[in-house]
Chain A
Amino acid sequence: MVSKVVMPKLGATMEKGTIVKWLAPVGDYVESGDPIAEIQTDKITLEIEAEASGVLLKTLYDEGSEVTVQEVIAYIGQEDEKIIEKCEDHITEETTIEGNLFFKDKIRRTPAARKLARIYQINLENVPGTGRMGMIKKSDVENYLANNKKTSPLSDTVHLKEPHLVSSPGPDQSGNKPIPISAEVVDDQRMKLTGIRKVVADRMTQSMQIPQVTLMSEVDMTNCVELRKNLLPIIEKTNGFRLSYNDILIKIVAHTIRRYPTLNASLQNDEIVCHSSVNIGFAVDTPAGLVVPVVKNAQKLGLVSITETCNQLIRLAREGNLKYEQMREGTLTISNLGKYEIDEFTPIINPPEAAILGVGRIRPKPVVINEEIKIKSTMKLSLTFDHRIVDGAPAAAFLSALKETLECPYQLFM
């Protein structure tokens, strides 16, 4: 019996997944449980396992294709077995003729062209073929790459044509060849909205449907700076990791938010769910785009554990190896732009969470204390909350409490 392999649905918001790589070639025997494809979804990369043992009869999509969830992407069965179903929703329509797989109107391309297209993730449909019977050759792909610069980050490494120069209209006064002026004609750069970029785009558009309000407050970080200065060498000696302000923020937010349950909440099908555990997501910028790994049960963790967890998650995020589990079930997100020259900004909620905390840089500033001007390390916090879940007053109370704890972090001992 032929069994189907489908694009799995791995989250409430997941609509499509991208086939990053086929892990088993067509015609190979796969055991049930063997990984057969790598897919990218919701900012993570996962392996799909075969649910049945048999020969991978056919894959319906090329690597790099985006496929709707629950869509059939491959068939597994016995060798020479017929594939009965007719797959309609993909490019290479197939039908069964006398037990043989029959492919209609496939793009003709040489192995070398196919390899190059795979490396640079080019859809060969867009490449005009100049070979025999319109076959796409390696040189066609190279030309396409040269004319569509920066199609992928790697494209600089291919042998590209020199950018053509706009030459001056006529010979110069000496009667010599026209002197090129240094105005390069470079086409606009176009990038398809796919992968992480697409997920971010969808999620942020979704977020803007939420009525959200941002509150801002300035915090005196002097004591936190002192706390970090004292704890950093101790923690570093314990586990080799350097304590960051982000770790301290996670600890203090988790400590404070317990008193404000409506901020550690989410809206699910007209129900406000106040979560028992504080799972803090923190935004990480990776080469592939923004991802938000989650520190689970942060209210139970000490600074040593938080530092270890965060470092591990950041490393996985940068390597693109975050698992789906490591990014789900967040209850509040922290977005820290403190390493840049940013003081404050309006963060956008990561749905379905109730709030997000934006963090600016720490910098010394003159502050009036008891009618005296003193230099203090200050930092601005921006708390954006979902007004459907929580009102301004409790949000303001939480932000004030947060400010208070940050200014006197010794409260953590209480």
Chain B
Amino acid sequence: MRTITYSEAIREAMSQIMRHNPDVFIMGEDIGVYGGAFGLTNGMIEEFGAERVRITPISEAAITGCATGAAMTGMRPILEIQFSDFVMIAADNLVNQAAKMRYMFGGKAKVPMVVRLPGGSGAGFAAQHSQSLEAWMTHIPGLKVVQPSNAYDAKGLMIAAINDDNPVLFYEHKLLYNETGEVPREEYEIPLGKAHVKRTGSDVTIVATGIMVKKAMEAAEELEKDGILAEIIDPRTLVPLDQEVIINSVKKTGRVLVVHEAVKRGGYGAEIASMIAESDAFDYLDAPIKRLGGVETPIPYNPGLEQKAVPQVQDMLQECRKIVME
């Protein structure tokens, strides 16, 4: 199978649907000739024209409000928030409007929109452009939250997100944009709410999200040299969350490490950890549930410090060894 990058996979998903569904259009800052801040929409304005590739003023509130209205009238907008950090400018439209509309109109109005949110650290963009705030959005009923960790999932999840009748927040990781992977040419959907067992193992379950899946895979390779077999679960969507796959894995291994890049305190890992503790996997636990998340600091500009602020492979190795040995 051919190999393409994570960003190409997302672009391909959008383009393929736009070719046969005239209701789908994209909007955002600099997404036209410039191709978006990360080049994701390169060439799209040439193919679909300015009507369907809408360059907007620098106002996330305006983009989101506009998209919400368009979605309610039957369109299927995909909007790009240049950096996911800027989503708070659009918070009212997302949290108070888009998330509530379907409920408040008794199901008669739908809000089929996708909000693309490049997030995460590691690219030297400093404190205001490197955050992982996905846990904020998981708290809001009415919003779905997706976090693909590789090119294949990115395309399948993007198609599922566009076809979903609810607002979907699509968290992309900047450092994954250039990661390559095998991606089929045809359109395919990965249903929202289905986790993926990336690697099977018997000694410890690592539930990792976003870019942490890649790091967890590297950690698992190392752990295997010590005779520790880690099972890696990528939830792929935080809302809805595939509880069953996680619970079954924990029942099998009896030990669990939850890893995300976002700050540990109040992070989504807490949700996963409590879900496990409340489930019937509790009786199978042979060690306390552990979480690994970012340190409680704004992301530093200094590249060395930036690395230290978020979990690395070495941290996972250390935690897993402790969980298994203690």
Interface contacts (Cβ under 8 Å), in number, total 26
Instruction: Determine whether B287 belongs to the interface, using a CB cutoff of 8 Å to chain A.
Output: yes
Instruction: Determine whether A112 belongs to the interface, using a CB cutoff of 8 Å to chain B.
Output: yes
Contact across chains for B286 and A112 when beta carbons are under 8 A apart: yes
Instruction: Determine whether A16 belongs to the interface, using a CB cutoff of 8 Å to chain B.
Output: no
Q: A122-140 interface mask toward B, CB cutoff 8 Å, 1 = contact, 0 = none?
A: 0000000001100001110
Q: A346-372 interface mask toward B, CB cutoff 8 Å, 1 = contact, 0 = none?
A: 000000000000000000000000000
Q: How far is the CA of A113 from the CA of B326 in the complex (A)?
A: 14
**Contacts A131-B326, A132-B326 known; A113 to B283 CB distance under 8 Å?**
no
Contact across chains for B282 and A111 when beta carbons are under 8 A apart: yes
Contact across chains for B286 and A137 when beta carbons are under 8 A apart: yes
Instruction: Determine whether A388 belongs to the interface, using a CB cutoff of 8 Å to chain B.
Output: no
Interchain nearest-CB distance for A28 vs B (Å):
15
Instruction: Determine whether A110 belongs to the interface, using a CB cutoff of 8 Å to chain B.
Output: yes
The one of A115, A131, A137, A139 that contacts B284, using a Cβ cutoff of 8 Å: A115
Q: How far is the CA of A137 from the CA of B284 in the complex (A)?
A: 11
Contact across chains for A112 and B254 when beta carbons are under 8 A apart: yes
Number of B residues, CB within 8 Å of A: 8
Chain B residues near A137: list those with CB within 8 A. 286-287
Q: How far is the CA of A112 from the CA of B254 in the complex (A)?
A: 7
Chain A residues near B284: list those with CB within 8 A. 111-112, 115
Instruction: Determine whether A150 belongs to the interface, using a CB cutoff of 8 Å to chain B.
Output: no
Chain B residues near A110: list those with CB within 8 A. 254, 285-287
Contact across chains for B286 and A138 when beta carbons are under 8 A apart: yes
Contact across chains for A138 and B326 when beta carbons are under 8 A apart: no
Chain B residues near A139: list those with CB within 8 A. 286
Residue of B nearest to A112 (CB): B286
Contact across chains for A115 and B326 when beta carbons are under 8 A apart: no
Chain A residues near B285: list those with CB within 8 A. 110-112
Query: Quick one: which of A286-343 are within 8 Å of B by CB?
Result: none
Instruction: Determine whether A258 belongs to the interface, using a CB cutoff of 8 Å to chain B.
Output: no
Query: Quick one: which of A92-145 are within 8 Å of B by CB?
Result: 110-115, 131-132, 137-139
Q: How far is the CA of A22 from the CA of B254 in the complex (A)?
A: 24
Interchain nearest-CB distance for B277 vs A (Å):
9
Residue of A nearest to B322 (CB): A132
Chain B residues near A113: list those with CB within 8 A. 286
Chain B residues near A114: list those with CB within 8 A. 283
Q: How far is the CA of A199 from the CA of B276 in the complex (A)?
A: 43
Using a CB–CB cutoff of 8 Å, the interface residues on chain B facing chain A are 254, 282-287, 326
26 A/B residue pairs, CB under 8 Å, sorted by A: A110-B254, A110-B285, A110-B286, A110-B287, A111-B282, A111-B283, A111-B284, A111-B285, A111-B286, A112-B254, A112-B283, A112-B284, A112-B285, A112-B286, A113-B286, A114-B283, A115-B283, A115-B284, A131-B287, A131-B326, A132-B326, A137-B286, A137-B287, A138-B254, A138-B286, A139-B286
Using a CB–CB cutoff of 8 Å, the interface residues on chain A facing chain B are 110-115, 131-132, 137-139
Q: Which 6 A-B pairs have the closest CB atoms?
A: A112-B286, A115-B283, A138-B286, A111-B285, A110-B286, A132-B326
Given contact pairs A110-B286, A111-B282, A115-B283, enumerate 5 new A-B contacts (beta carbons under 8 Å). A110-B287, A111-B283, A112-B254, A131-B326, A138-B286
